[in-house]
Amino acid sequence: MEVDTESSYNQDINPELFVELMRLFFDRGWMVGSSGGMAAATADKIYYSPSSVQKERLTPDELFVFGTHEMKLQSRPRCPEIKESACVPIFNLLLNEDENTTCIIHTHSKYANLLTQLLAPKTIFEITDQEMIKGILNRETLKAYSNQHRLQVPIIENATQEYMLLPQIKEVLTKYPNTSAVLVRNHGLFVWGPTWQKTKIMLECYEYLIELACDMIKHGIPLIKAD
Amino acid sequence: MEVDTESSYNQDINPELFVELMRLFFDRGWMVGSSGGMAAATADKIYYSPSSVQKERLTPDELFVFGTHEMKLQSRPRCPEIKESACVPIFNLLLNEDENTTCIIHTHSKYANLLTQLLAPKTIFEITDQEMIKGILNRETLKAYSNQHRLQVPIIENATQEYMLLPQIKEVLTKYPNTSAVLVRNHGLFVWGPTWQKTKIMLECYEYLIELACDMIKHGIPLIKAD
Amino acid sequence: MEVDTESSYNQDINPELFVELMRLFFDRGWMVGSSGGMAAATADKIYYSPSSVQKERLTPDELFVFGTHEMKLQSRPRCPEIKESACVPIFNLLLNEDENTTCIIHTHSKYANLLTQLLAPKTIFEITDQEMIKGILNRETLKAYSNQHRLQVPIIENATQEYMLLPQIKEVLTKYPNTSAVLVRNHGLFVWGPTWQKTKIMLECYEYLIELACDMIKHGIPLIKAD
Amino acid sequence: MEVDTESSYNQDINPELFVELMRLFFDRGWMVGSSGGMAAATADKIYYSPSSVQKERLTPDELFVFGTHEMKLQSRPRCPEIKESACVPIFNLLLNEDENTTCIIHTHSKYANLLTQLLAPKTIFEITDQEMIKGILNRETLKAYSNQHRLQVPIIENATQEYMLLPQIKEVLTKYPNTSAVLVRNHGLFVWGPTWQKTKIMLECYEYLIELACDMIKHGIPLIKAD
């Protein structure tokens, strides 16, 4: 297949593109205050964002690059104080859990946080009859859902450290084998998928539905229609 | 007439401009998550956006270009997996329905979606006494409305596929021959007009009125004043 | 006085700067759908925005430039269909009313519109004890107000054409000789001042206070504290 | 330690970076209408923003630069009418109060203002169990808080001039020795920290929590969970 070199459709992730996406997510309000992060893999590399730094000011050489053939770190930021994202254990769990997953994006959007509070103590966000559900993939089949599908996003409770979320994430992956996202109460959202393109598209669809759901709740509109 | 080449006033649509508009609409939140799309015609071409791709990252050579003299596709994205917008049947219906229509823009704005829910089960959005109504054209006369006009935007019910909206759209075109837009419940907005410039201006006026109407409803302000 | 050529502090308005400001105001949501406009004068020229065109796409040669010595139009857009702003009679009234006024900005912000509805049928917006009031000038003294000043912005009723607002604007200038702004119900805001810099700063302060007032009303917080 | 010259992680503040941050804060809505300001120190200089000018249009030579070895102004804007920020007495108090403080940012965000009104007459904003609290430093220990920490931000009453806030700020620094921020009622926020990077990150975390708190209050969600 001849690849269109100017198109982003089949473009592999690379350091320049990675930091460009960080700027975009910062501008959307999803990675402010050094929050959030991403892991994205190619055939032989995994790129991870660093921890505790301004996401919109990342330079391509500030990423952690892990070689998956030699199984070791190929490069890291020159500044030794910069650490890899605290989410790396979660990113690796999701990458290893499913061979199709190559990208995970973690955001701290205000609406994701607010929705988990509005739904508390529920441990699931459910919505249906929304066009944007068509942008979400079933993790097992990798097929897009119908807009009539009852979308389910599990909500887990926050912990003091990100790695402490691992048991809960493992549990929801078993309980909801089709989900491509999980919400963390008072914290944010994790979304994963088979390419960075589809993961970013799903992220935008999830954030749209989350923000819409907050508005619907404010207006007393049910998220699930009575039959 | 001497045309000012630097002005956008009489500028024909072209691939670079088309993708620039997609980025603008993405930034407004109207085409996130690969949603939305546009068709825009010149004297001998119709440009269509592709389906299921990031609208803000489109390159000029990723458009579908249909030659209206030779009645066939002149070019398409090199990547064979990229398909034309699922809205093409709707775009073509609107282009054929009215010889003056050369541009259709379809957006997934959160407020358009929310308004259709706030007004449910009504099948029309009506508002009057608003200055921005002057930015909307009567489809039949192509004249701008007065700000005292009672603007009517029909609301149709969503379907699982975009082409399944065709019968409802045909029906509202008959029932509301003057409308330049239709809302789709839980989905978004279609706007059309005689040039890309006027269609974009109308889109911004409709989105402004829709967002304002959501706020008015939240505050209990009627959209139509009692006489 | 040595003028810092790189500084915007004393920079005269010019066509490039004018259209740059239009883009900024569009991005803020104040001039969408071809709405809004500006007039700004130098020692021998008045620049006016054109009507019914996309404000963020204006080119420097699409302005109307009036020579105040020769009292005639020095240049206008080459495209004959482009007309001057429908607000020109209002802009001229304000320029002539007060020798200190050199700039008027007219916006269609959603919040200005909403506030006039929330306050209806009142014909004035009043707020006090707000830091941003310090950014507003008394039109007669050209001195900034204290943050404890009770700021008054008259609200007039909308009309079908902009020039029909003239009698009401004349009336409020007499009734409120100190005001640097007027709200138009269901329409927008006019702000004027002695330089484009101070007018833009005032515009941003007014829009901030207007948006804040909408939120205060939503939460039931009075705009004026009881003594 | 080898410093990564492309990284912002260890980059000292400089005039170009200072004005770039002003543009960013303006775009966020935190420094509109000439409001807000910043002071940031290097080993031998303190940079201060000017007063009453458009913050997003500042040029690098419009800053006030104070030499801390020679204890005098090294440079200032060429235009004599431009004055230093009215916050300089507050900035200096905070710089002198604590040897670790090198940067102070003052914003006029709408949400900071609104929150002080929603909480009135309380003189403190408290929130807990929020992930973004981890982005805030304890001023005394310079360690980040746990997300379970009960974050406390003192609220002081506004005054007619900024220097009149000094006694109240001194008082809250004594009463809340760990705080890295103070809210001013109907006015805005001051945030300070050991580097411009950490101060900016804290600012974004505080603004996130403030905006979230406004939404939580709107929905009747308590900011502090009952035990």
Residues of chain B with pLDDT under 70: 1-6, 227
- Residue D131 contacts residue A37 (beta carbons within 8 Å): no
Mean pLDDT value across residues D140-144: 96
Measured between alpha carbons, how far is D119 from D155 in angstroms, rounded to an integer?
9
Q: Which residues of C touch B1 (CB under 8 A)?
A: 79-80
- Which tokens in the block code for residue A73? 């770190």
- Least CB-CB distance to A131: which of B81, B187, B217? B187
**Judging by DSSP bridges, how do beta strands D124-127 and D151-156 pair with one another?**
antiparallel
Query: Which of B161, B187, B189 to mutate to probe the A interface, most A CBs <10 Å?
Result: B187
The helix or strand, by DSSP H or E, that contains position B106, with its residue range, turns out to be strand B103-107
Tell me the β-bridge partners of A154: A124
Q: What is the pLDDT of residues C2-24, one digit of tens each?
A: 444 457 888 999 999 999 999 99
Q: What percent of chain C has a predicted confidence (pLDDT) above 90?
A: 93
**Contact at 8 Å (CB) between C139 and C166?**
no
Q: How far apart are CA D66 and CA D64, in angstroms?
A: 7
B113, B115, B119, B158: best mutation site toward chain A, by most A Cβ within 10 Å?
A: B113
Distance CA B31, CA B25 (A): 6
- Other C-beta atoms closer than 10 Å to the C-beta of D16 total 10
Please report, in tens digits, the pLDDT of each residue of chain A (227 residues total): 344 445 788 899 999 999 999 999 999 999 999 999 999 999 999 999 999 999 999 999 999 999 999 999 999 999 999 999 999 999 999 999 999 999 999 999 999 999 999 999 999 999 999 999 999 999 999 999 999 999 999 999 999 999 999 999 999 999 999 999 999 999 999 999 999 999 999 999 999 999 999 999 999 999 998 75
Note the CATH number of domain C15-218: 3.40.225.10
Q: Please say whether the beta carbons of B108 and B35 come within 8 A.
A: yes
- pLDDT for B227: 59
**CB–CB of A9 and B218 under 8 A?**
no
The answer to whether residue D5 scores a pLDDT higher than 90 is no
Separation in Å, CA of A138 to nearest CA in chain D = 28
Q: Tokens 């690849």 label which residue?
A: A3
Separation of alpha carbons A62 and B211, rounded Å: 41
If DSSP codes are grouped into helix, strand and coil, which group holds residue D189?
Answer: strand
Gap from A210 CA to chain B (nearest CA, Å): 11
**What is the residue-averaged pLDDT of chain B?**
95
Instruction: Locate C195 and state its tokens.
Output: 């330089």
In this predicted structure, what is the pLDDT of residue A227? 59
> How many residues does this entry show for chain B?
227
Residue C1 confidence (pLDDT): 34
Give the span between the Cα atoms of D178 and D98, in whole angstroms: 11
Nearest to D18 by CA among D67, D77, D54, D59: D59
State the sign of the Cα–Cα–Cα–Cα dihedral C140, C146, C150, C153: positive
pLDDT of residue D8: 86
Q: Residue B75: name the closest of B83, B67, C58 by CA.
A: B67
Contacts of D218 in chain C (CB under 8 A): 218-219
What letters, b where the CB count within 10 A reaches 16 and e where it falls short, cover A173-190? beebeebbbbbbbbbbbb
| Residue partners of B131: CB distance under 8 A and separation at least 6 | B147, C35, C108, C113, C158, C184, C186, C187, C188
User: How many separate helices (H) and strands (E) can be counted in chain A?
Assistant: 5, 9
Let me know if C131 is a catalytic residue. Answer: yes
Chain A residues lying within 8 Å of D29, measured CB to CB:
none
Among chain C residues, the shortest Cα distance to B1 is held by: C79
Query: What are the start-end ranges of the H helices in chain C?
Result: 15-27, 88-97, 110-118, 166-175, 196-218
Q: Which of A2, A9, A211 sits opposite B53 (nearest CB)?
A: A9
pLDDT at residue A5, rounded to an integer: 47
Q: What is the pLDDT of residue B85?
A: 94
Higher pLDDT: B183 or C1? It is: B183
Confidence at residue A9, expressed as pLDDT on a 0 to 100 scale? 87
The encoded tokens of residue C34 equal: 């071809």
The predicted model gives D168-191 an average pLDDT of 98
